[in-house]
Amino acid sequence: MSQARIIDGKAIAASVRDEISSRSAALFEASGVRPGLAVVLVGEDPASQVYVRNKDATAAACGFHSVKHTLDADTSEADLLDLIGHLNEDAAIHGILVQLPLPGHIDESKVLRLIKPEKDVDGFHPVNVGLLTAGERDTALVPCTPAGSLVLLKRTLGDTLSGMNAVVIGRSNIVGKPMASLLLQESCTVTIAHSRTKDLPNVVRAADIVVAAVGRPEIVRGDWIKPGATVIDVGINRIPAPERGEGKNRLVGDVAFDEAVGHAGAITPVPGGVGPMTIAMLMANTLTAARRQLGLAEEA
Ligand code: NDP
């Protein structure tokens, strides 16, 4: 059986970041403005701290004006809303990202809805969700993980995905649903599978493109994959790895990689696939938001 091509998300993300750095430098030269990103973290969740540090550092490396707001876990909802209000009015800030999850006493949707849609670089505001669903991608800000997954698909399959059968497993607002909208806009025939889907293996067997965003380690088995299909594994699952020592873990995706690699035409690894693309697309969204707020035309 032939081996799938491994889609190198790290390398593709690096090339996207390089391109953004030079476009950001060109913007600064032409207008004196650096794209501004504010990242807001409430509390001390260790995974969130790592994500926020990475986002802040990547923004700085891309030549952005990067601001990090770290708030105590017991910050009141009113204080957080007040901060968002200020960032909304701050002309040096073009993108606002509130790291999720928020502590339980804060209403997440209230916070996300207060962010001005044009500064909503996570693409979670109902206005951006609506624009994407209405097929107006060019005016929306699109959630970063699905946007990055689409870039990986296009770098692998070429620009035309038209007519392909795509199965998206997972229907969350941050990954599954926007991914399905993007693929529909690419004229794929899209099936969205979820926990109530009947006979998932056979649904997946019909797919030329499989996007797995489930959060269940290796739920998608190799023999579910149509020979030659392209597999994008969004899942990040930490499982025990006693072979690495007591109490050690390792990351696996939602796809049984070692099996699927013998069936797929191309597949993303975990880690090193979709993960790096998510941050790269956050930078792309911030640059796009800055250009739009400056009244500049979109770049190709
Ligand atoms: P959610 O938990 O919000 O959604 C999971 C989806 O999977 C739900 O729609 C659920 O269905 C579906 N599902 C659960 N069990 C099954 C099953 N047995 N068969 C079929 N479908 C099932 O997760 P997210 O969308 O937020 O994240 C998905 C994964 O992607 C996670 O591992 C997460 O860590 C990862 N992730 C990775 C990112 C990256 O940068 N690489 C970014 C964001 C997420 P139902 O709706 O019926 O409950």
Considering only residues 1 and 285, tell me which one the structure prediction assigns the higher pLDDT: 285
Q: Is 39 exposed, middle or buried (0-12, 13-18, 19+ CB in 10 A)?
A: buried
Whether residues 106 and 195 fall in one domain: no
Q: Which residue range forms the structural domain that includes residue 95?
A: 30-116
Nearest residue to 287 (alpha-carbon basis) of 113, 131, 62, 68: 62
In a domain, residue 66? The reply is yes
Whether residues 95 and 189 fall in one domain: no
Ligand 1 atom closest to the CA of 175, numbered from 1: 25
HSE-CB of 117 using CA atoms within 13 angstroms: 12
Model pTM? 0.97
- Three-state secondary-structure class, residue 179: helix
- Catalytic site residue 99? yes
In a domain, residue 288? The reply is no
Nearest residue to 5 (alpha-carbon basis) of 201, 270, 269: 269
Q: Which of 56, 99, 226, 233 is catalytic?
A: 99
Number of domains in the chain: 2
Rounded to two decimals, the ipTM of the complex is 0.99
Give me the sign of the Cα torsion angle 251, 255, 256, 257.
negative
239 is in an annotated binding site: no
Band (299; pLDDT cuts 50, 70, 90):
confident
In a domain, residue 188? The reply is yes
Q: Tell me which of 124, 167, 172, 199 to substitute to probe ligand 1's pocket, judged by most ligand atoms within 8 Å of the beta carbon.
A: 172
Whether residues 109 and 146 fall in one domain: no
Whether residues 94 and 170 fall in one domain: no
Band (2; pLDDT cuts 50, 70, 90):
confident
* Alpha carbons 251 and 120: distance in angstroms, whole number: 29
Distance 213 CA to ligand 1 centre (A): 4
In a domain, residue 12? The reply is no
Helix axes 144-157, 176-185, angle to 10 degrees: 40
Band (207; pLDDT cuts 50, 70, 90):
very high
236 is in an annotated binding site: yes
Is 1 a residue whose pLDDT tops 80?
Answer: no
| Section 211-239 average pLDDT | 98
Residue 230 corresponds to which tokens in the numbers above? Answer: 């392209």
Residues within 6 Å of ligand 1 by CB: 145, 169-172, 174-176, 193-197, 200, 213-216, 219, 234-237, 274-275, 278
Distance 145 CA to ligand 1 centre (A): 12
Q: Which of 122, 208, 233, 254 is catalytic?
A: 122
Band (297; pLDDT cuts 50, 70, 90):
confident
